[in-house]
Chain A
Amino acid sequence: MIAVEHAALQFIDLQTGDVLALLAIGFVGGLVSGFIGSGGAFVLTPAMMSLGVAGVVAVASNMCHKFPKAMVGAYRRYKFGHVDIKLGLVMAASATVGVWVGADIQQEIKANFGEAGSNLYVSLAFVIVLAIVGGFVLRDAIKVYRSGDTDAQDKTSRLARWVQSVEIPGTMMHFKTANIRVSALFTLPLGFATGLLAATIAVGGFIGVPGMMYVLGAPGLIASATELVIAFVMGFGGTIKYALHGLVDIRLALILLAGSLFGIQLGAIGTTFVKPFMIKVVMAAIMLIVALSRGLVVPVYLAQLGQMDLAPQTMAWLQTASLATLVLALCTGGFIIIGAMLRGYRAQGTPAAREAVTE
């Protein structure tokens, strides 16, 4: 069966302005991904939705741009010694199952509740997950800041210490780069949840990175880099799944890729110049602002589903406010990362100065 006509209805006409917007958000999204391991996508899905792309097509196209981007980023950070490939692949195995289940749920919701239902589901998942995890990461970042020792390497959380102490014969695995030894029974549900979230909002890393940090006890730098391996594997699987339904808008994916490959290289370079604590600050700031942005449009989708009365003016206002908040999240992330990079760069001296020293 050829579902071209059916699928073609869901794709938007691209104007020059749209292309420029995609390039710009792709760049900043890539910058954030290279830095915190994920997260470019959480800006991209809502941004595409703001351009009029259906929720499920936005997620599908996002995934298709994400896996090659993650591959490039993972390769870069592997060179910096940040990637635990074994941990990444073990997490990715169960994450792939999560992605397929999550994509099925998306299909079901779209079939039963239409596009507004699908948009509402994606937005609600954003708000709930980002508010909870973002709040948790922020609390931790504040704790580190208050302790006055922001130069310190990450401390292992109490939960991670317990997880590492549990010995289940036959399931124990040692992850060398992350320097942890845990039972595979802990990585399985964590990976599954990462994949499930990835298929829903295209950003599994919001569970994956904090999960590896706070549940398994991996350092932030290693967790954020390893997430790129997981993102690659599940993005690859997810793209195939969505492509089988003809939902990938390849133009969107490749235009995003054009900007984000510049960003991800820069973000990866940035991680070598900052304190581990900065990764948490950037993650928390962006997650919470995006949660707010998506929260603003929940009433709009509720109104479209006939669950709420809302004046057209109010709906338009809420959508504009949501987009503005999103831009704020993007800029905040970009500014913090580039600012932190410049400070780190200055502390190290310029590349020319460093080369002079090595000579």
Chain B
Amino acid sequence: MILGEKLREEGVERPKPYRQLVVSGIVSGALYLLLYLYSAEIMTSFTRTDGWYPALPVIAAFAFSFAHGAFTAYFWDVLGVTGKHKK
């Protein structure tokens, strides 16, 4: 059930994921707040080319995409914007 996508079955009443929206929103918001507060330190260590430092941008990108990706999926879901499922 990652990224907030739920399989929809025909005819099943689906409550809107308000709670998930709030939780993922808080996680995503916290990550961006950290980025803002520590941007100087982050830029220094994230551009180092020695050791395992080059892995940092990749790890950060994954972490942000999971948290923020879930938030954006719930966001459109709560607004009622969903795709037409094709077979």
- Which A residues have a C-beta under 8 Å from some C-beta of B? 1-4, 7-8, 11, 14, 64-65, 67-69, 71-72, 75-76, 79-81, 236, 239-240, 243-251, 253-254, 257-258, 261-262, 265-266, 268-269, 271-273, 344, 348, 351-352, 358-359
Distance in Å from the Cβ of A338 to the closest Cβ of chain B? Answer: 11
Check if A3 sits within 8 Å of B47, measured CB to CB. yes
Q: Please, how many angstroms separate the alpha-carbon atoms of A244 and B39 in the complex?
A: 20
User: A1–B85 Cα gap in the complex (Å)?
Assistant: 52
A243 touches B57 (CB 8 A): yes
A254: which of B11, B32, B73, B86 is its contact (CB, 8 Å)? B32
B23 on interface, CB distance cutoff 8 Å: no
Q: Once the chains are docked, how many angstroms separate the CA of A244 from the CA of B50?
A: 8
Q: Is the CB of B49 within 8 A of A258?
A: no
Q: Write the chain A residue with the least CB distance to B46.
A: A250
Cα distance A352–B81 in the bound complex, in angstroms: 10
Contact with A along B68-87 (1 / 0, CB 8 A): 11011101100011111111
Q: How far is the CB of B45 from chain A (nearest CB, A)?
A: 9
CA distance A55 to B44 in the complex (A): 20
Nearest-CB distance from A85 to chain B (Å)? 16
In contact, A3 and B48 (Cβ under 8 angstroms): yes
Chain B's closest residue to A75 (CB) is B3
A253 and B63 CA atoms in complex are apart in Å by 13
B7, B64, B69, B71 pick with most chain A CB within 10 angstroms: B69
A76 touches B86 (CB 8 A): no
A117 CA to B20 CA in the complex, in Å?
48
Across-interface contacts of A269 in B (CB, < 8 A): 76, 81-83
Tell me the minimal C-beta distance from B81 to chain A in angstroms. Answer: 6
The reply to whether A272 and B86 form a contact with Cβ atoms under 8 Å apart is: yes
Asked if residues B61 and A253 are in contact (CB atoms below 8 Å), the reply is: yes
Within 8 A of A (CB), among B7-27: 7, 10-11, 13
Which chain B positions have C-beta within 8 A of A246? 47-49, 54
List the A side residues contacting B71 at CB < 8 Å. Answer: 261
Instruction: List the A residue with the shortest CB-CB distance to B44.
Output: A4
The 9 closest A-B pairs by CB, nearest first: A68-B65, A243-B54, A272-B83, A246-B47, A272-B84, A72-B69, A269-B83, A261-B72, A246-B49
- Nearest-neighbour CB distance to chain A for B84, whole angstroms, equals 4
